[in-house]
Structure 1
Amino acid sequence: MKFKVTEFEGKVINFADLDEIMQAAGFDSQWDYERITYDFKFVDEADTDAYAYYFRVPAHIHEGEIPKNSAKVYMLAPYLGRHYYPHGIEYDEVFPEWIVNKCNQKLEQIVEKIKADVVS
């Protein structure tokens, strides 16, 4: 499931600022020198299979290299997926409403911080 966030999708942001904002919002990161993905993991306690859901916010390099603080990244559309062991993550599903609502709250939190802290 993709989320439309016009406030930052496609914007160029300083990597160090973005990394600080995402860590403060509770996201973990995986990166290489050209891209980074921030993940927020949900576990649905009511789900008897106990599969995890991942809310992902990706960005690609615009200038420099990750993880240098001076690097600039451009934001891509956030998306939500459900992990099925051992097959991987599926993105075309109907997700629990509480998870979608929590993702929207996280997006609002991130967008507010980006607007307040980052000029691009």
Structure 2
Amino acid sequence: MYFENTGIENTVIDLNLLDDLMKKNGLIRAGQWDYERVTYDKKYEIKEGTFYLRVFGFTKDGDVGAHDANITLLKPVVGKHYYPHGVEYGENEVFPNHLVKSCEQVLAALKKDLSSFELQA
């Protein structure tokens, strides 16, 4: 399930600052990156299953591995984890209201933090 009109998508921000702001809001990059893309996750383990709030980003001309990149954020998504296959985001998935509300709160707090540091594209 994609979150529309969060105000996060298309934000451009320095990778190092982004790592700090994401961590502050419970989203961790860990090993989920390559030289042009990043993924930040917040894991929810609730009675309905395991879910991940994900925020994806990419750089046009930087190097994530060298910590020298401005990241453009994409539309956030929440998905359900199925062992051993991975995370599904499909429209047939059911996302509990309390989970969606929590994700929206995290994204609103993140938007507020990002707005202070956004770079002009």
TM > 0.5 fold call: yes
> TM-score, normalised on structure 1?
0.88
- Within 2, Cα distance between the matches of 1:33 and 1:69? 9
Which stretch shows the higher mean deviation, 30-39 or 5-14? 5-14
Instruction: Check whether the contact 2:57–2:72 (CA below 8 A) recurs between aligned residues.
Output: yes
Letter in structure 1 aligned against 2:70? K
Deviation at 1:69, TM superposition (A): 4.1
Deviation at 1:7, TM superposition (A): 1.9
- Within 1, Cα distance between the matches of 2:77 and 2:53? 6
* 2:83 pairs with 1:85: yes
Deviation at 1:68, TM superposition (A): 3.6
**Superposition RMSD in Å:** 1.5
Percent identity of equivalent pairs: 38
Match of 2:15 in 1: 15
Q: Can you list the C-alpha shifts for 1:25-79, whole angstroms capped at 9, x where unaligned? A: 11111111110000000001x33xxx31000000011221004444111111110
Which stretch shows the higher mean deviation, 26-35 or 100-109? 26-35
Letter in structure 1 aligned against 2:21? I
Letter in structure 2 aligned against 1:100? V
Match of 1:72 in 2: 70
Deviation at 1:24, TM superposition (A): 0.9
- Within 1, Cα distance between the matches of 2:115 and 2:97? 27
Letter in structure 1 aligned against 2:45? V
- 3-state DSSP of counterpart to 2:26: coil
Distance 1:104 1:6, change over 3 A: closer
> TM-score, normalised on structure 2?
0.87
Distance 1:87 1:70, change over 3 A: closer
* Structure 1 alignment gaps of length 5 or more: none
Q: Can you list the C-alpha shifts for 1:58-105, whole angstroms capped at 9, x where unaligned? A: 001122100444411111111010011122211121200111001000
